[in-house]
Amino acid sequence: MRSTPPIIEVENLSVTFGEGADERRAVDGVSFSVDRGETFGLVGESGSGKSTILRAITGLVGNEATVLCVAGEDIRNKRGKNFYRKVQMVFQDPYEALHPRHTVWRHLMEPARIQNIPDAEARGNAALDSVGLPRALLWRYPHQLSGGQRQRVAIARALMSEPDILLLDEPTSALDVSVQAEILNLLSDLQDERGLTYVMVSHDLGVVAHMCKRTAVMQAGVIVETLDVDALVNGGARENYTKQLIAASEAYGEDPRDIVQPRASSK
C-alpha cells in the first residue's frame, strides 16, 4: 500500500481525433498512476497513443477522463499557472522544439517572463550549469549547437520554473547513440538532485530498462499491461504483445538487458 498519494492519477482517459466517418480513438480508456519521484514509462510501437497521453495531461489535445489529477489538483477542465510551473514537457526533436531565431539565453528567459519567475538571470545561469553547458554558448542559436547541446537547452528551459514533473516524449530518439547515453545520465542525475518525477515515452526498451521503475505497454490506444521493469527484462511479461515487442527489440540488437553504457563526459 502507498504511504502517500500518487503525484499523477489518470483514470479512464480517452482522446478522439476527427469527426463522423473520420473519427479515430487515439487513446481509449487508459488508467495509471505515478508515485512522486518515480520514472514511469509508456512504451509501444508508433501510433499506439503514448505521446498523445502526454499531450492530454498538458492540455495540448482535448480529452475526457473520469480522473485526471496532478499533485492533488483536478485538471480535467482547467490548468492554471501553477500547473505549468509544476509540469514541464521535453519533446522528441530538440531542433523542432527550439525557436531558430532565439539564442540560448532567450530560450531560458522566455518561460521566466511568461511565469514572472524572480531572479531569472541567476536561475538561467543555474539551469545552464545543471545541464552541463558552458556560458560561452549563451548567445548561440540552435543551428550553432549539436543535437545533444540542443536537447540540454530544452531541458534547461524546462527547469526554469523548478517543476516537480517532467513529461519526456522520446527525449533521446533524435540523437546519436553516444549522446543518448549522456542525456539519459543527465536526466538521472537531475532526478536524484531535484526529486523530479518523470513520465517517459519511448519505443526503445533499453531506454525504459535504464530509466523506469514501472512501464505501461500500449497497443492501439490501450494499455495491455503494466509491469515492473525487472519483469520486462527478465521474461516476466504476461501479454503476447509485450513478448512480441521484446522479441522485436532483441532481433534488432536492442535487448532491454543492454543497459545504457557508463557515464561519458557531458561537455
Between 254 and 238, the more confident residue is 238
Q: Is residue 89 part of a domain?
A: yes
Q: Is residue 114 part of a domain?
A: no
Residue 264 has pLDDT above 60, yes or no: no
Q: Is residue 124 part of a domain?
A: no
Reported as a single tens digit per residue, the pLDDT across 19-62 is 888 889 999 999 999 999 999 999 998 889 999 999 999 999 99
How many separate domains does the chain show?
1
Q: Looking at residue 43, which CATH number applies to its domain?
A: 3.40.50.300
Reported as a single tens digit per residue, the pLDDT across 73-127 is 999 988 988 899 999 999 988 888 999 999 999 999 999 998 888 899 999 999 9
Which three three-digit cell numbers place residue 67? 480522473
Q: Is residue 232 part of a domain?
A: yes
Q: Is residue 193 part of a domain?
A: yes
Residue 236 lies in domain: 8-98+165-176+184-251
Angle at 234 between CA 232 and CA 239, to 5 degrees: 45
Q: Is residue 218 part of a domain?
A: yes
Q: Are 242 and 217 in contact (CB under 8 A)?
A: yes
Q: Is residue 77 part of a domain?
A: yes
For residue 19, how many other CB atoms are within 10 A of its CB?
Answer: 8
Phi, psi of 199 (to 5 degrees): -115, 115
Q: Is residue 159 part of a domain?
A: no
Whole-number Cα distances in Å, 117 to 82, 121, 124, 191 = 12, 10, 10, 22
Handedness of CA 129, 261, 177, 218 (dihedral sign): negative
